[in-house]
Amino acid sequence: MNNEQKPPTPEASGADSAQPPNNDQRQATASAKPEVTKPPAKKAPVTPTSPTDPAPPEDLEVPSFITALQAAYPNAIEQLSYWVGDWTVIVVPEHLIAVSEFLKDAPDGGFDLCSDVTVSDWPARPKRFDVVYCLYSTQHRYRVRLKVRTDENGAVPSVSDVWPAANWLEREVYDMFGVNITGHPDRRRILMPEEWQGYPQRKDYPLEGPGELLMEGPQDWLRLRNLDAENEGE
């Protein structure tokens, strides 16, 4: 008697006798998967025009040197602002020298030190530059800011005759931003070489620097860089 047992057939063992799925079945399975919803594309941020210059609180007393300035030059002041404990007087550029001399010589002003001259750039605004003069009174120990607004070609008179310390500060403003400082005794670059093209701290200055040609468009810079790389590889 033959006691050798035969291996069970797939039907007897209950094993799945189905064939591997063909291409049509695979495609059907893939198409049955839920579609992944892509998040909506982010919109480009809106270019800011400029921050607002907050008006002083109604219950805050205006310093006497500012009220005296308003009385002496009523057409010189565009706006008064107050922020983080300091006053800002926004002045028409044509009256900058007269206002500066008044603030320096007024008995209750005495702003004998120009500690800084700086610029903020807002390209979307017609008058893109805010030129800011930080003044300090060593006698009364308080500060005030003067501000003028101008564009690329608008003239801003030099205050170096009023405050000699402004001489190099104004040269830096001209060098970095190209602000048209007029009447300066030595208006030339102070940080960059004299032949440098463009003004590095303008917000629309090309990130890769001027190279041999001043190109404001990023795509133009990319083409120029790739062209240089191709020439070096030949």
| Residue 148, beta-bridge partner list | 131
pLDDT of amino acid 63: 96
Q: What is the CATH number of the domain that holds 162?
A: 3.30.460.80
pTM of the model as a whole:
0.71
Region 32-40: mean pLDDT is: 67
Q: Would you say residue 55 has pLDDT above 70? A: yes
Write out the residue range of the structural domain in which residue 77 sits: 64-205
Cα angle 135, 136, 139; round to 5: 145
Determine, yes or no, domain membership for 19: no
Enclosing H/E stretch for 117: strand 113-121
Lowest mean pLDDT among 1-10, 33-42, 88-97, 216-225: 1-10
For residue 9, pLDDT over 70 is answered with no
pLDDT above 90 covers a percentage of the chain that reads: 62
Residue 215 lies in a domain: no
List, in order, residues 6 or more apart from 121 with CB less than 8 Å away. 128, 129, 177, 201, 202, 203
Contacts of 77 (CB under 8 A, 6+ apart): 69, 70, 89, 90, 91, 92, 99
